[in-house]
Chain A
Amino acid sequence: LAKTTQPISMDSYEGQEVNITCSHNNIATNDYITWYQQFPSQGPRFIIQGYKTKVTNEVASLFIPADRKSSTLSLPRVSLSDTAVYYCLVGALLSGGYNKLIFGAGTRLAVHP
């Protein structure tokens, strides 16, 4: 599984756009990129997943360049409730829906008033 590197922490203010970049230089052809969000005392929650180019859902956007060696999670107009730890993961989807993921330490995002 490809190792990922992301900033340990970030600070932002309400209403700003936040971009968290993750590097995964050893990503394999079959690997996809996924991001999870974790609030204190809760399990991680899936945010977004992509393979290449740009993916957007109601919560975030994910930008993946052509070489796929990095990805950027974009959170538009953050609010205080977006304060959480964000994990970038690289994994492969195997038969039967099994996907093995390795979590790093994540990025602690603090949103200030």
Chain B
Amino acid sequence: NAGVTQTPKFQVLKTGQSMTLQCAQDMNHNSMYWYRQDPGMGLRLIYYSASEGTTDKGEVPNGYNVSRLNKREFSLRLESAAPSQTSVYFCASSDSYEQYFGPGTRLTVT
């Protein structure tokens, strides 16, 4: 039981490049989330998926797109990376009060 897994762990992009962050959970949770965390700050919600087949914007969705591929997987895409998207990205899932977080992806955009 791996919980929530994220790939890659680290990534460096040049401005304008695109990439997809992958997230998978093996707990059969309905809801999944993507957050970003900037240095010294709390987490900010980018997008969420309350259930398979649905996605909604969170607090900071601009510059991102998401896909809920199936119940297990929820991916986050940066179409044209910008330096302001340098951050640590966390995926989470839940089926009740508790959200389970992945280990994070550290993304640097130069």
Binding partners A and B: yes
Interface residues in chain A, defined as those with a beta carbon under 8 Å from any beta carbon in chain B = 32, 34, 36, 41-46, 49, 87, 93-94, 96-106
A-B contact count (CB 8 A): 66
Looking at chain A's contact residues, is the secondary structure mostly helix, strand, loop, or mixed? loop
- The size bracket of the interface on B is 20 to 34
Which one, B29, B59, B103, contacts A97 given CB within 8 A?
B29
A29 to chain B, nearest CB (A): 16
CA distance A93 to B98 in the complex (A): 10
Query: In this assembly, does B109 line the interface, its C-beta being within 8 Å of a C-beta of chain A?
Result: no
CA distance A92 to B99 in the complex (A): 13
The interface-forming segment of B14-22, B45-53, B74-82 is: B45-53
Contact between chains at A99 and B31 (CB < 8 Å): yes
- The interface residues of chain A lying within 8 Å CB-to-CB of B45 are 100-102
CA distance A58 to B72 in the complex (A): 30
- The interface residues of chain B lying within 8 Å CB-to-CB of A103 are 35, 42-44
- The interface residues of chain A lying within 8 Å CB-to-CB of B98 are 34, 46, 49
Contact between chains at B97 and A49 (CB < 8 Å): yes
Can you list 10 A-B pairs, Cβ within 8 angstroms, ordered by A? Answer: A43-B4, A43-B90, A43-B92, A43-B103, A44-B90, A96-B30, A96-B51, A97-B31, A99-B96, A103-B42
